Structure 1
Amino acid sequence: MASLEPRENTMAEENHLAVQANMKSIKYASEGNKEGWLALYADDALVQDPVGVSPMDPSGEGHQGKAAIEAFWDNVIGPSNIEITVNKRWLSGPNCVCVAQVARNDLGNGKFSDCDMLAVYVVNDEGLITSMKAHWDFDALIAQLS
């Protein structure tokens, strides 16, 4: 199981718009703050979580635009009791690549699921997320639950 202990952010990370968007996204998701979370996204943003075909995205093309991203919140993020930690971030242009990001979902009765992922956040000049792609193995997550 991956460590859930985050490391310290560097000054470059804290000032990077994509890092700020990532940190706010994590905060709002864990708080259940739908309005704050949705406000982080540009109107035509794309969310792929996970990247590829899954029951959350049968087409594998992702959730494009605010209405689709809101539906993703309503069906996936909102109902969860999630804690997300990032152990390392790589910065490149407008991108923040969250390496060893772990989403821990409290399933109740002392049970948890842990989802290791690599998440890529891209922001525009205003700091709004234009693309968020989370790479993780849906089948591995389901195996934890059985």
Structure 2
Amino acid sequence: MTAITWSGPDTTHPARTASRRSMDAVTRGAKDEWLALFAEDAVVEDPVGKSMFDPTGDGHRGPEAISAFWDMTIGNVERFEFDIRDSFAAGDEVANVGTITTFLPGGSRIDTEGVFVYRVNDDGLVVSLRAFWETERAMATLRKV
């Protein structure tokens, strides 16, 4: 499988473009490129609500918190694969539907099914990334590869 499989519409939309750039940077481990996609006042909620990554459920707000989110989550994964089955753009947002497969150190993988919503500002920078997925469902897919 390639790092990103895209089955959604290929029409140009600022939020869709930002989401695809985000996935590309993640698959390449390009932290600085990924961080440059976000506005100064951006928030990342991945997953939305309280979680092991965000005990308060308030999201990771601003450059320092988003950078720390990368270090805590994305930076600890050996490889990512994105399988986006559909994408719905409206207004200044896009909702991508698909699976993110993470390959963890030690030879395990997890498939996270979800809806991944990006909102951009007039400059095309991400002001909000909200990932709707369920920890229990994702953890149920944990297996050795």
Q: Give the TM-score, by structure 2 length.
A: 0.88
State the match for 2:54 in structure 1.
57
State the match for 1:133 in structure 2.
130
Q: Deviations over 1:21-49 (max 9, x none)?
A: 00010000010000000000001101000
Residue in structure 2 matching 1:47, options 38, 44, 47: 44
Higher helix share: 1
In structure 2, give the amino acid aligned to 1:98: N
Distance change in 2, residues 1:131/1:8 (3 Å):
closer
| 1:18 lines up with 2:18 in the alignment | no
In structure 2, give the amino acid aligned to 1:9: P
Q: Is the 8 A contact 2:83 2:100 kept in 1?
A: yes
In structure 2, give the amino acid aligned to 1:107: L
Q: Unaligned 5+ residue runs, structure 2?
A: none
| 1:9 lines up with 2:3 in the alignment | no
Give aligned pairs, total. 139
Q: Deviations over 1:78-131 (max 9, x none)?
A: 1112112211000110000112x2110113666421000101100001100000
Q: Give the TM-score, by structure 1 length.
A: 0.88
Taking the aligned partners of 1:87 and 1:25, their CA distance within structure 2 comes to: 17
Residue in structure 2 matching 1:142, options 119, 139, 144: 139
Identity, % of aligned positions: 37
In structure 1, give the amino acid aligned to 2:6: P
CA RMSD in angstroms comes to 1.7
State the match for 1:87 in structure 2.
85
In structure 2, give the amino acid aligned to 1:143: A
Taking the aligned partners of 2:120 and 2:5, their CA distance within structure 1 comes to: 26
Q: Unaligned 5+ residue runs, structure 1?
A: none
Runs of 4 or more above 6 Å deviation: none
Taking the aligned partners of 2:121 and 2:9, their CA distance within structure 1 comes to: 22
State the match for 1:115 in structure 2.
112
